[in-house]
A and B are shown apart, each in its own frame.
Chain A
Amino acid sequence: MSRAFTPKVLTGNDLRSGEAVYLAPGGAWTPHHGEAELLTDEAEAQLRLLEASAREDRVVGVYLADAQLGRHGPEPVHFREAFRTRGPSNYRHGKQESALS
């Protein structure tokens, strides 16, 4: 039996703006963590990472980040990833700037 695999999302930064983006089901990139594809299979996650690292044409610095299924799709597990879904805490800049709330 293999050890339990923590589900992942594939994430990186947009080449032009540097904004954090996530790989959605079907292969498009989305700025919303909740729209990311939750990768529950380790081999598949590694494959996605390899493919994206080989391309890096629109999205750079790609890596797999731990995630879990929440009420509105995948949610970050670690606080660093949670910050990336919002923006800095000292100004309402980044994603939170345009978020409806």
Chain B
Amino acid sequence: MYRYTDFDHAFLAERNAQFRAQVARRLDGSLTEEEFRPLRLMNGLYLQLHAYMLRVAIPYGTLSSAQMRQLALIAERWDKGYGHFTTRQNIQYNWPKLEDVPDILDALAEVGLHAIQTSGNTVRNVTADHFAGAAADEIADPRPYAELLRQWSTDHPEFQFLPRKFKIAVTGSPNDRAVTRAHDIGLRMIRDAAGAPSFEVIVGGGLGRTPMIGKVVRDFLPAADLLPYVEAILAVYNTLGRRDNKYKARIKITVHEEGIDRIRELVEAEFATFRTRYDGSDQTLLAEIEQSFAPPAFIAKPVGDVDAARRDPVFSAWADTNTVAHRRDDHAIVTVSLKAHGATPGDATAAQMRLLADLAEDYAYGELRISHEQNVILPHVARADLPTLHARLLKAGLGTANVGLASDIIACPGMDYCALATARSIPVAQELALRLDALKLEHEVGELKIKISGCINACGHHHVGHIGILGLDRAGVENYQITLGGDATETAAIGERAGPGFAYDEIVPAIERLIRAYLDLREAPEETFLMAYRRLGAGPFKVALYGDEGKRDAA
């Protein structure tokens, strides 16, 4: 894990001291709200519907047990005993008091965490594959690159006032678990013809009002050229980005308007200059950073009697859905679901956070990850320990066996918290998950990604859900629009609108009809919802949603 240097600590301490003084001046009236607002946003503090919200970055989704314990302590001491993990690998506290925020930031700094650049038109938290450093299919750990980008972009004077916010995602595996194609810059590691690790550089992806799948600006970028190349992209965007219109200011619009070929030309030209300015110090730094991401000293453990453990059907179901292949045969990657049926997706209580920190220490070399799918990952667990780990998770209500299934729903905070929302998302996710649990169908259904956003900003990634749900305000009433066929992986696709929206009390039954239709339509259990949708098109699914009207629509 990356450990803060003296420089990092000093930087953060100074920044926090500044904000402490700014809060004091706001409270005594010497700063107006207009003056204070940008200052608080620079430190991740938003004003929401019922309270302030503090957004804390979890760089590339990696946490140590000590950091997780500190997040629990903050939740208990200054909030209402829980935190919400988001699709951008952040944690949000929904109830901090303004005067407590400086103390919270100091508490975060103690464990090397901060809320800088979790808001504003800057380079936001760099996200990464949540299986980084552990996945069997990984070429290289993407986190050193993400950390390099974090250090380089934090407080970078040229990129504090970009035309709009800027999101970067990195994956070290060709199998994209970091939604790189829906980011301003996506970096997907692949091997070039000679077998050398390089990045496929994707630019101009993004969801929101104008969803776009990113385009490849460079097929193979040698990993060593990452920083000058990203800097070149940002420089081009800083010049061409539409500052005149907030809705056209993201780089996806620039790429769309200029065309990827023109963007490539400009970026390559900038890159040629930038590259000569780099004297190799970035590579020295990267090498240092890489050392701190060295894999843990894995302890070889005989796998033991798998068949005996598998005789417990509860364990067996959980092992099927919640574990995946590790780079070592005697280990597994465990995803702990924060989606117990009926719970708020992505929420963890302080007690759960502490337990997860303990379990990470006992079974996973003290490491945890937060996924953009709002779950917690124990990246390195000896297979021999899985049954014991599972038993302890079950006892704490964290043993839900639904990762990747229909009730593993992404949901943004929606109108239960978010000031920008047009409808609620959390209760829709809760009710849908409860219904799915009652039907006992989801294991039969298999992989199905349902994603819910409470407004067009699409923090809940609904556009790339196999089934996407978007909450809207239609003439003063909550209304839910369904999109179908979205895909968040390396075969990314934007879902298509199914038709007219559904009222709050109609949306869960509508999704149930879709799922039942899929079960009727699939050729075999191996054909997932997405595969069936791609084979059949929207037609039969529209009929399931709208009856004969749907048929007319589809014709």
A residues in contact (CB < 8 Å) with B:
13, 15-20, 56-57, 60-61, 77-80, 83-84, 87-91, 93-95
Contacts and interface: CB of A to CB of B under 8 A. Distances in A.
Contacts of A87: 50
B51 A83 contact: no
A44 B363 CA distance: 65
Given A79-B415, A79-B477, 18 more contacts: A15-B27, A16-B97, A16-B98, A17-B52, A18-B48, A18-B50, A19-B51, A57-B29, A60-B33, A78-B476, A84-B50, A88-B417, A89-B416, A89-B426, A89-B427, A90-B347, A90-B427, A91-B80
Shortest 5 CB-CB distances between A and B: which pairs? Answer: A88-B416, A18-B51, A56-B33, A18-B52, A94-B50
Contacts of B18: none
B118 interface: no
A19 B477 CA distance: 24
Nearest to B419: A61
Interface string B38-51: 00000000011111
Query: DSSP class of A's interface residues: helix, strand, loop or mixed?
Result: loop
9 contacts: A15-B98, A16-B98, A18-B48, A18-B52, A57-B29, A61-B47, A83-B49, A88-B417, A90-B426
Interface of B: 26-27, 29, 32-34, 47-52, 80, 94-95, 97-99, 344, 347, 415-417, 421, 424, 426-427, 430, 473, 476-478
A18 B344 contact: no
Nearest to A87: B50
B430 A16 contact: no
Contacts of A90: 344, 347, 416, 426-427, 430
A13 B29 CA distance: 16
Contact of B47 (A13, A80, A91): A13
Nearest to A77: B476
A77 B476 CA distance: 9
Nearest to B423: A79
A16 B27 contact: yes
Nearest to B51: A18
A93 B33 CA distance: 26
Nearest to B504: A79
A96 to B, nearest CB: 10
B47 A18 contact: yes
Contact of B50 (A15, A16, A19, A61): A19
A19 B347 CA distance: 21
Contacts of A57: 29
A56 B32 contact: yes
Given A18-B47, A91-B80, A83 B416 contact: yes
A43 B477 CA distance: 29
Contacts of B344: 90-91
A84 B476 contact: no
A60 B35 CA distance: 12
A79 B478 contact: yes
Contacts of A61: 33, 47
Q: Which of B33, B415, B473, B476: most chain A CB closer than 10 A? A: B33
Contacts of A16: 27, 97-99
